[in-house]
Structure 1
Amino acid sequence: MFIIALTYIRPIADIEANLQAHRQFLDKYYADGMFLLSGSKEPRNGGIIIAKAGSLAEVQKIVQEDPFHQANVAEYEITEFLPSKTAADLVQYREL
Structure 2
Amino acid sequence: MFIILLNYIKPIKAVEAVIPAHLDYLEHYYQQDKFVLSGRKNPRTGGVILCQASDKDEVWAIIAEDPFYLEQVADYDVLEFLPTKAAAVLTRYLV
Could you say which residue in structure 2 is the equivalent of 1:51? 51
The residue type equivalent to 1:68 in the other structure is F
Structure 1 runs of 4+ aligned residues shifted over 6 Å read: none
Matches of 2:89 and 2:37 in 1, distance apart? 14
1:10-89 matches, within 5 Å, as: 10-89=10-89
Structure 2: stretches of 5+ with no match in the other structure: none
Matches of 1:78 and 1:40 in 2, distance apart? 16
Matches of 2:30 and 2:89 in 1, distance apart? 18
Over the residues paired in the alignment, what is the CA RMSD in angstroms?
A: 0.5
> Percent sequence identity over matched residues?
48
- Deviation for aligned residue 1:53: 0.6
- Deviation for aligned residue 1:88: 1.4
- Deviation for aligned residue 1:89: 1.5
Structure 1: stretches of 5+ with no match in the other structure: none
Could you say which residue in structure 2 is the equivalent of 1:93? 93
Per the normalisation by structure 2, the TM-score is 0.98
